[in-house]
Amino acid sequence: MIKKLMQSIRDYKRPAIETPVFVGIEVLFECALPFVMAQLINHMTGESMDPIVKYGSILLVMAMLSLLFGVLAARKAATAGAGFAKNLRHDIFYAIQDFSFADVDRFSSSSLVTRLTTDVTNVQNAFQMMIRIAVRTPLMMVFSLAMSFSINPRMALLFFCVMPVIAIALIWMIRTAMPIFRRIFKKYDALNNSVQENIAGIRVVKSFVREEYEREKFYRASDEVRKDFTHVERILALNSPVMSFCMSASMLLISFFGAKTIVNSHGTSLNTGDLSALISYGVQLLMSIMMLSMVFVMLTMAQESARRITEVLNYENTLHSPENPVMEVADGSVDFNHVSFKYNEKSKRNALTDIDLHIESGETVGIIGGTGSSKSSLVQLIPRLYDVTEGSVEVGGIDVRNYDVDTLRDAVAVVLQKNVLFSGTIKDNMRWGNKNATDEEIVEACKLAQADEFVSKFPDGYDTYIEQGGTNVSGGQKQRLCIARALLKNPKVLILDDSTSAVDTKTDALIRQAFMDKIPNTTKIIIAQRISSVQDADQILVMDGGRVVEQGNHESLIAKNGIYREIYDSQTKGKEEE
Residue-wise pLDDT for 514-565, tens only, equals: 998 899 999 999 999 889 899 999 999 999 999 999 999 999 999 998 999 9
Instruction: Name the strands in the sheet holding 334-341, side by side, starting at the edge strand that comes first in the sequence.
Output: 352-359, 334-341, 390-395, 398-399
Concatenate the DSSP letters of all residues of 466-503 into one string.
EPGGGTTS-HHHHHHHHHHHHHTT--SEEEEESTTTTS
**291 shares its domain with 369:** no
Tell me the Ramachandran region of residue 310: left when phi exceeds 0, alpha when psi lies from -120 to 50, beta otherwise: alpha
On whether residue 484 sits in a domain, the answer given is yes
Give pLDDT tens digits for 170-190: 788 878 887 888 788 788 778
pLDDT of residue 192: 78
pTM beyond 0.75: the answer is: no
Mean predicted confidence (pLDDT) in 104-116: 85
pLDDT of residue 266: 65
Which CATH number does the domain housing residue 45 bear? 1.20.1560.10
Q: How confident is the model at residue 18 (pLDDT cuts 50, 70, 90)?
A: very high
Give pLDDT tens digits for 199-241: 777 767 777 778 888 888 888 888 888 888 888 888 877 777 8
On whether residue 322 sits in a domain, the answer given is no
Q: How confident is the model at residue 267 (pLDDT cuts 50, 70, 90)?
A: low
Q: How confident is the model at residue 73 (pLDDT cuts 50, 70, 90)?
A: very high
- 250, 279, 313: which is the final residue of a domain? 313
On whether residue 328 sits in a domain, the answer given is no
The percentage of the chain sitting over the pLDDT mark of 90, rounded to a whole number, equals: 42
On whether residue 191 sits in a domain, the answer given is yes
Contact 20, 76 (CB under 8 A): no
Concatenate the DSSP letters of all residues of 325-379 into one string.
-B-------EEEEEEEE-SSTT-SS-SEEEEEEEE-TT-EEEEEE-TTS-HHHHH
Please state the domain count of the chain. 2
**230 shares its domain with 143:** yes
**264 shares its domain with 372:** no
**291 shares its domain with 346:** no
User: Could you tell me which residues are beta bridge partners of residue 415?
Assistant: 496
pLDDT of residue 574: 52
**277 shares its domain with 393:** no
On whether residue 386 sits in a domain, the answer given is yes
- Check whether 265 has a pLDDT greater than 80: no
Give pLDDT tens digits for 373-431: 999 999 999 999 899 999 999 999 999 999 999 999 999 999 987 778 888 999 999 99
Look up residue 431 and give its amino acid: R
Q: Which of 100-109, 257-266, 557-566 has the highest mean pLDDT?
A: 557-566
How, if at all, do strands 465-466 and 424-425 pair? Answer: antiparallel
Give Cβ neighbours of residue 517 (< 8 Å, ≥ 6 apart). none
Q: What is the rounded CA–CA span in Å between residue 203 and residue 291? A: 49
- Check whether 577 has a pLDDT greater than 50: no
**308 shares its domain with 338:** no
Considering Cα of 379, then 383, then 385, then 389, what sign does the dihedral take? positive
Give Cβ neighbours of residue 383 (< 8 Å, ≥ 6 apart). 400, 408, 409, 412, 414, 493, 495
**379 shares its domain with 520:** yes
**98 shares its domain with 170:** yes
**341 shares its domain with 430:** yes
pLDDT of residue 46: 61
Query: What angle is formed at CA 549 by the lines to CA 548 and CA 554, rounded to 5 degrees?
Result: 95
**340 shares its domain with 457:** yes
**Residue 316 backbone dihedrals phi, psi, to 5 degrees:** -90, 120
Q: What is the rounded CA–CA span in Å between residue 285 and residue 141? A: 5
Q: Which helix (H) or strand (E) element contains residue 521? A: none
Contact 357, 531 (CB under 8 A): no
pLDDT of residue 269: 67
On whether residue 1 sits in a domain, the answer given is no
On whether residue 224 sits in a domain, the answer given is yes
Which domain, by its residues, includes 96? 7-313
User: Could you tell me which residues are beta bridge partners of residue 336?
Assistant: 357, 393
On whether residue 324 sits in a domain, the answer given is no
Please state, in angstroms and as integers, the Cα–Cα distance from residue 508 to each residue in 433, 443, 489, following that order.
Answer: 21, 19, 21
Q: What is the rounded CA–CA span in Å between residue 141 and residue 200? A: 53
Q: What is the rounded CA–CA span in Å between residue 124 and residue 78? A: 10
**372 shares its domain with 416:** yes
pLDDT of residue 578: 46
Residue 277, Cβ neighbours under 10 Å: how many? Answer: 25
